[in-house]
Amino acid sequence: MTQVDIAGLLPQCADGEPDKHGRPEARHYNFEPTFIMWGLQDLHLEFDPVG
């Protein structure tokens, strides 16, 4: 996933990790800035069962 994918997908999620990524209106994610390893440093997710 790219930074654009993450930025578009995660704000649509109902639950998040506010202590790790901030409140829904002010989410932040850490990306590696290097040319070769450009990607997320970390991503904390929890999933709720459906149904």
pLDDT, tens digit, 9 for 90 and up, residues 2-33: 666 666 766 666 565 667 667 767 766 666 66
What is the pLDDT at residue 4? 63
What is the pLDDT at residue 16? 59
Q: Name the residue among 35, 28, 22, 23 with its Cα closest to residue 7.
A: 28
pTM, full prediction: 0.33
State the residue for tokens 């590696």: 32
What is the pLDDT at residue 44? 74
What is the pLDDT at residue 49? 72
**Four-CA torsion 12, 50, 44, 7, nearest 10 degrees:** -20
